[in-house]
Structure 1
Amino acid sequence: MTTGVRRRMGVEERKRQLIGVALELFSHRSPEDVSIDEIAAAAGISRPLVYHYFPGKQSLYEAALRRAAEDLAERFVEPREGPLGARLLRVMGRFFDFVDEHGPGFSALMRGGPAVGSSTANAMIDEVRQAAYEQILAHLDVTTPPARLHLVVRSWVSLAESTALIWLDGRVIPRGELELQLVHDFAALAAVSAAYDAEMAEILLRIVADEPAEGPFGDLLGRLMGLGTRLPGQRVP
């Protein structure tokens, strides 16, 4: 027969518990809609005890944000094996897993929420973007990117972020289609840039040389070639 006596938590263990509880609540509702009382109730402690560990909701939100940021950054980590298109597709799958699991929290993080104007929160968001940027460069086997590649990768990371936010508003387009489309977007951005720059052309040719016809990049090429059969006035050969 159990006595119902709770085990006393140490300071760090209690902080981790509160961060986990807050992150779970922020994942289902916008942070500004979650109260300290709700966090305390979910953690099974009193409101004053929450304030004993965190000065206020802002500091707890930023601690939860730190954990979420670290988790999100890890979604871009992928073994550097096999064709790039397949690697990027797996990365996008894990990225949208995070967005799906933490929808309102992800939206609040990227659009504002209670951390608006917080230099700490903004720095964490930038860290996630930087981690994603560095991972993509590593997949491209580039340590010092030329200016146009820097632009392509930064633009693509921003595009993935904005696409996820738009998708959350109604989830109209099937998630799997968006994941593949974002991989195609990366290839398209790189191809357009390669048309203007010899270094980018060399990088692009190196990428596509290892791409199978049945991979994401081969799929894009097939879709583009198929457009000619559907355009008005075009003859089917």
Structure 2
Amino acid sequence: MRGSMAVHELPGSRRRGRSPRRMAPEERRRQLLDAAIGLYGKHTYDEVSVDDITVAADVSRALFYRYFSSPADIYQAAMHQAIDSVLSQITARVEGSLADQLRQSLRAILDYAEAHPNGGVVLLKHGLSDSTSETGQHFDDARLKIVEFLFERGDVSERTPLMDMTVRAWINVVMVAIVDWLQEPKITRADLEEWLFNQFMAMSAATGIQDPVSAAVMERLSGEFFPD
């Protein structure tokens, strides 16, 4: 419940002695966002009050409202920061093949999901269902950057609509599967990661059946995915 007074205290949010250290505005804003992301990772939006965030960040309510107009405002900013953080990890180029890059991308998403179970569900569901709000558009932009990055990483210069559709659909499969796994973890993380990797292979192979360009790309990359 949110309002002018907090009627609950979330675990781990007991106030410490407030630090008098002065911070640059951007540093202070990030401190508040980090505190909010930590709380949203373990609690729902409705469970987190302004007081909970200020306690976790060790700042006053007045300071909170200097940077954010409302709980909804910081929630949106926190979602944007979370999207950007995961995106930067997914698109961090690694040594090795495209297969290595795909596995690294999956690990980055799963690392975030495990560290922020509730927030991961909210973030991924938001990306799947909302394409109209500012946050939904931010998520769509991030998804497009992932698509572009994977094609660039695979050195794919000639693309077809079916190839684009395949990669976008695979990203959605990843999101849906991780949400299901977070809510009901019936398989191990390792099994989920391997299944998602194999889904990329299977979907790409299926596209190649009716798309000669895609088939040629997969033939070229087959040595990376199936090394001797």
TM-score (normalizing by structure 1): 0.81
Cα deviation 1:186-233 (Å, max 9, x = unaligned): 01001111111211110110110344446xxxxxxxxxxxxxxxxxxx
* Alignment match, 1:224: none
With over 3 angstroms needed to count, the CA separation of the structure-2 counterparts of 1:5 and 1:37, relative to structure 1, is closer
| Aligned residue pair count | 210
Q: 1:8 to 1:66 in 2, by over 3 A?
A: same
Query: Which residue in 2 is equivalent to 1:229?
Result: none
Q: Which residue does 1:205 correspond to in 2?
A: 219
When the two chains are superposed, the root-mean-square deviation of aligned CA atoms in Å is 2.3
| Alpha-carbon distance between aligned partners in 2 of 1:118 and 1:49, rounded to the nearest angstrom | 31
The equivalent position to 2:139 in structure 1, one of 113, 122, 125, is: 125
Equivalent-residue separation in structure 1 for 2:131 and 2:109 (angstroms): 25
2:205 alignment partner in structure 1: 191
Check 1:79–1:117 CA distance in 2 against 1; reply closer, same or farther (3 A cut). Answer: closer
- 1:32-63 deviation line (CA, Å, top 9, x unaligned): 22111101111222223211221001111122
195-204 or 138-147: bigger deviation: 138-147
Deviation per residue, 1:99-155 (Å, 9 max, x gap): 111221121123249xx7872111121122112111211122124521111111011
Structure 1 residue runs of 4+, over 4 Å off?
A: none
| Maintained 8 Å contact 2:50/2:61 | yes
**What code does the residue aligned with 1:175 have?**
R
Name 1:17's counterpart in structure 2.
31
Q: Deviations over 1:63-112 (max 9, x none)?
A: 21121111111122243643322321122112100111122112112324
Of residues 51, 75, 96, the one that matches 1:37 is: 51
Contact kept, 8 Å, 1:72 with 1:128, in 2: the verdict is: no
Q: Which has the larger radius of gyration?
A: 1
Structure 2 residue 170 is the aligned partner of structure 1 residue 156: yes
SS of 2:210's equivalent in the other structure is: coil
- Cα distance in 1 for residues equivalent to 2:31 and 2:63: 13
Q: Counterpart amino acid of 1:77?
A: T
Does structure 1 residue 101 correspond to structure 2 residue 91?
no
Instruction: Give the percent of matched residue pairs that are identical in Structure 1 and Structure 2.
Output: 28
Alignment partner of 1:59 is 2:73: yes
Flag structure 1 segments of 5+ consecutive residues without an equivalent.
Answer: 215-237
Give the drift of 1:26.
0.9
| Pair 1:78–1:55, CA change in 2 (3 A) | closer
| Structure 2 gap ranges (5+) | 1-17
Residue 76 of structure 1 contacts residue 135 of structure 1 at CA under 8 Å; is this kept in 2?
A: no
When structure 1 is superposed on structure 2, of 198-207 and 137-146 the one drifting more is 137-146
Tell me the equivalent position of 2:13: none
